[in-house]
A and B are shown apart, each in its own frame.
Chain A
Amino acid sequence: MSAPGPPKALNGDGASLLPRADRIHTERVETTRLASLSHVLATEHGARLADLFADDGADGQIVLRSVYALDHESRYLVLECEIDRDRFPPLSDLDPAAFVEECEIYEQYGIRPDGVRRLNRVLVPPHRADRFPRLGRREGLRLARDYEPHVVTGEAFEFPFGPVRVTGWESLYMGLVTTGEEVLDLYLFHWHKHRGLDHRLRGLEPERATFFAERADGLSSVGDTLAFCRAVEMATGSEVPAPAAHTRAVALELERIYNHAAAVAAMCQTTGLSVGQARSEIVLERLLRCNLAAFGHRYLFGVVSPGGVRREPDAEEIRRQLPGILDEFRYVVDALLVTNSHVDRLESTGIVTPGNAHRLSLVGPVARGSGQAIDVRRDHPTGPGDEPVPVVQVQPAGDALARMRVMVAEVEEAARLIDAHLGEAGAGSEPLAGGGGAGLGWAESPRGEALAWVSLDGDGRIDGVRLRPASVRNWRAFDDAARAQNVFTDIPIIEASFWLTVAGFAR
């Protein structure tokens, strides 16, 4: 893969600070340089802001880490910056993709971006703000004074929907601001599902922490756990046996297939096509049973572990069941795409423009449905080197139909990848190398790029962790999609086509 050169912003002379063999480069920068560096990375080097978070530093200081994906170079760049006061440079002034993370840092550490702009409440429940476990807790911190007030004015009113919603849908409050039918604005409260996992994983051994990491977002358990385990493996310098790497790939693609089938079923439900929903859910149920037969768990829990895998796939069962299920899926999708009442409801609904998708650094099918060819399986490969490269499925329209088409095409691609990996897949796990360290892990979960940052102390226990499921990145586009000339009944369709989880955001 070609590497067009390092970010000149780092050294100014074009000499490589990022050895090609390295997938990650960590660079310490001065606080005063952070904003200008971020701007140069985004505008001149095509860097994508993948994450921004705070961590405990030495001597009570707070370290701010911004993670940039250099997709065309197959590398991640981590900028670390020590914050020694209550303010840090506002990245979101230049890069709107950073705003949600800035709000989260404020909630967890009590430090905020410079400037007068108010922040949004994202994770800490207002009624438990003083008691809920937070990273870097500061006594006496009163968060509410810096929040943007929740105000609805003029002829508009707020139509409350949630947090208890339809059976089977997660807890989420939607405040639909409207004058009647069209959605003018939208408030989303995710905090009902916040469990403070980043806080609770501290002090655990990686093996035990994996159990909780895979429950952060149950529908992306393989993708999120894979990112977490890769971060642990990088922190300890551990290698994964090749058969285990192939097994991980099989589980990841099975997870993608059942999630995309579930999204199609949800889209049928929200367009009122109950017979299509029933047929899609039959496919979904068969896929879950295939998961059970292949790996012993319908949602593929317990497959991935630090250093390898705990289970190997039953290749015979996958080969026996999957082709027939996929035939049925194609049969359903063919019918859906010629059903006008379904297609008309998806077309031009919940549009995310390519510009917005890029500006907000979206990932997964939401980004690919808006013309962004981002897929870490291709852009940041991690396998043993002989793995098949996925063909990235892209649609330009940015509406719910484009997202559905991307998912349908990805099911076919996932099936091809499973077939290619299955022959090499097997059991295996290497003991983690001892000692401490830090690492970044990633995986292309069904919802897009999942990231995890892990630092281990000298005893190999978790000193700090940051789980960043794909839902964290993509929920920020939901507001824009909902406001794009949509009416009440479009909102569930948009939600189904995004197919995000609240748990993944509010972990």
Chain B
Amino acid sequence: MAFWFYRGVRKGIATTRYPSTVDPWARGLPSAPGFHAARLTIPLVDRLVGECPAGALTREDQELVVDLGRCTGCGRCLELGTGAVRSTGEFLLATSDRAALIKRVPIRGDREASGGG
């Protein structure tokens, strides 16, 4: 069994400092989307809602409701909402409060396009 020890020593330390420091490789992980309120329009939001296979997106009147507890980071909204949707890079979402995972984004694109406030 000694050779396992020597092989281990030769390979060096394999552990990392996570979670005190996020590993650089983790930047590439799929993460929850972020939305630019000023670029969201109702037709676009409706398309995003229809496309989300996990049911994480819904529209309530003039708001996009994002349930990060349902989001799987599949990236379909990123493909569809170019310019209005971005990847946040945030994957540490654990919380003991379910409501904290519900985000509300006002839909402002229509108003700005029509010159309204």
Give A residues with C-beta under 8 Å from B. 208, 211-212, 275-276, 278-279, 282, 289, 292-293, 296-298, 301-302, 331, 335, 339, 341
A301 touches B74 (CB 8 A): yes
Q: Is B83 positioned at the interface, with any CB of A under 8 Å from its CB? A: no
Given contacts A292-B25, A297-B30, A339-B1, contact A212 B75 (CB under 8 A): no
B7 touches A211 (CB 8 A): no
Q: Which of B5, B53, B72 contacts A208 (CB 8 A)?
A: B53
Name the distance in Å between B32's Cβ and chain A's nearest Cβ: 14
Taking CB atoms, residues of chain A closer than 8 Å to B74 are: 211, 301-302
Of B3, B4, B5, B25, chain A has the most CB atoms within 10 Å of the CB of: B4
Q: Which residue of B lies closest to A204 (CB)?
A: B53
A296 to B25, CA, bound (A): 11
Given contacts A292-B28, A296-B75, contact A331 B7 (CB under 8 A): yes
Taking CB atoms, residues of chain A closer than 8 Å to B29 are: 292, 298
Taking CB atoms, residues of chain A closer than 8 Å to B3 are: 335
Query: 1/0 contact trace for B12-56 toward A, CB 8 Å?
Result: 001000000000010011100000000000000000000001100
Taking CB atoms, residues of chain A closer than 8 Å to B89 are: none
Given contacts A212-B53, A339-B1, contact A296 B7 (CB under 8 A): no
Taking CB atoms, residues of chain A closer than 8 Å to B25 are: 289, 292-293
Besides A211-B54, A275-B8, A292-B28, 8 other CB < 8 A contacts?
A212-B53, A275-B4, A279-B7, A279-B11, A296-B30, A296-B75, A302-B74, A335-B3
Contacts between the two chains (Cβ within 8 Å), count: 37
Taking CB atoms, residues of chain A closer than 8 Å to B11 are: 279
Q: Which residue of A lies closest to B75 (CB)?
A: A302
Taking CB atoms, residues of chain A closer than 8 Å to B4 are: 275-276, 279, 335, 339
A298 to B91, CA, bound (A): 14
Query: 1/0 contact trace for B87-102 toward A, CB 8 Å?
Result: 0000000000000000
A282 to B14, CA, bound (A): 8
A339 to B1, CA, bound (A): 7
Of A212, A275, A293, chain B has the most CB atoms within 10 Å of the CB of: A275
A34 to B74, CA, bound (A): 44
A341 to B5, CA, bound (A): 15
A211 touches B53 (CB 8 A): yes
A331 to B8, CA, bound (A): 11
Name the distance in Å between A215's Cβ and chain B's nearest Cβ: 8
11 residue pairs from A and B, CB less than 8 Å apart: A208-B53, A211-B54, A211-B74, A275-B5, A278-B14, A289-B25, A292-B25, A292-B28, A296-B75, A335-B4, A339-B4
A335 to B3, CA, bound (A): 8
Name the distance in Å between A55's Cβ and chain B's nearest Cβ: 24
Q: Which of A208, A293, A341 contacts B28 (CB 8 A)?
A: A293
B8 touches A279 (CB 8 A): yes
A208 to B53, CA, bound (A): 6
Q: Which residue of B lies closest to A281 (CB)?
A: B14
A355 to B30, CA, bound (A): 45
Taking CB atoms, residues of chain B closer than 8 Å to A341 are: 1
Taking CB atoms, residues of chain A closer than 8 Å to B75 are: 296, 302
Q: Which residue of B lies closest to A289 (CB)?
A: B25
Taking CB atoms, residues of chain B closer than 8 Å to A279 are: 4, 7-8, 11
A298 to B75, CA, bound (A): 14
A331 to B30, CA, bound (A): 31
A335 to B53, CA, bound (A): 45
Q: Which of A212, A293, A298, A335 contacts B7 (CB 8 A)?
A: A335
A331 to B7, CA, bound (A): 9
Taking CB atoms, residues of chain B closer than 8 Å to A298 are: 29
Name the distance in Å between B55's Cβ and chain A's nearest Cβ: 11
